[in-house]
Amino acid sequence: MAKVRLEDIKRRFNNVTAIEDITFEIPDGEFWVLVGPSGCGKSTILRTIAGLETATSGKLFIGEQLVNNVPARQRDVAMVFQNYALYPHMTVAQNIAFGLQMRKVDQRIIQERVVNVARSLSLEHLLDRKPKQLSGGQQQRVALGRAIAREPQVFLLDEPLSNLDAQLRDDTRAELKQLHHQLGITTIYVTHDQVEAMTLADKIVVLNRGRIQQIGDPQTIYAHP
C-alpha cells in the first residue's frame, strides 16, 4: 500500500490537451473515485498512473518514489478494465496466477494466493474452468482476482462494472467494497455511476475538460442544495 501523488500532471496528444493541472494526493489505503463526462480525461489519469501513458509534464509519485520514468512492469500497480480481457486458453486458476508466474514467485506462494483470492471472490468452485464457461460477472471477478493476486500497492479500476447487468453490478460493487475493506489497497476507480461513486468513495474527484473541477467527499459532491 502506498500513497499516490500527482503534481501538476499534464498530458498532450499532438494538439489535444487530454489533462492538465492535475494535482492531488491520495493517502495510503484510501478509495478515490474519478467522475466526469466522457472525454474529460479519467482514463488518461489512470493510464498515466499505471505507466501506460507518459505525462507530458508534472510529477507522479507512488509512495515516496518518483515514477515518471519507471516502466509499467516495474510499477507496483494493477489495473482492471471494463472489458475484462482474461486469457481465453487459460483456466481461472492460471489467469489468477498469471502475474505471479511472470514474476517468478515461488509456486507454493502462488498456490496459496490463488486459493485465498478465489475464496475472497467466491471463485473456489470455478478454478478449473475456462473464461468462456463463466458468466460475465464471474469473468469480472476473475479479472479482479488476477489483479489483486499480485498484492499491488495501488489498484486502478476503469469502469469495471459497466458491462454487468444491474443485479450483478450491485453484487460486484458490494464485493469490491468488502475487498477494499479487507485488503486496504490504495484504489482509484473511474465510473459514470453516481451510486458507485457514493457507496465506494472516500473522496471523489470531479473532472471536466481535462481539469479538476472539485474534490470532496461523496456527501459534499452530491449534496442537494
Binding site for ligand ADP (CB under 6 A): 13, 16, 18, 36, 38-44, 91, 93-94, 97, 107, 110-111, 114-115, 127
CA distances from 79 to 47, 57, 76, 143 (A): 9, 22, 10, 9
Of the two residues 28 and 209, which places its CB atom closer to ligand ADP in the complex? 209
How far apart CA 119 and CA 181 sit, in angstroms, is 15
Contact 204, 221 (CB under 8 A): yes
Shortest Å distance, C-beta 158 to ligand ADP = 8
Shortest Å distance, C-beta 97 to ligand ADP = 4
How far apart CA 96 and CA 92 sit, in angstroms, is 6
The length of the chain is 225
Of the two residues 2 and 145, which places its CB atom closer to ligand ADP in the complex? 145
Of the two residues 1 and 93, which places its CB atom closer to ligand ADP in the complex? 93
Of the two residues 111 and 135, which places its CB atom closer to ligand ADP in the complex? 111
CA distances from 163 to 2, 92, 222 (A): 29, 19, 24
30: cell is: 484510501
How far apart CA 2 and CA 155 sit, in angstroms, is 10
Shortest Å distance, C-beta 28 to ligand ADP = 25
Shortest Å distance, C-beta 208 to ligand ADP = 10
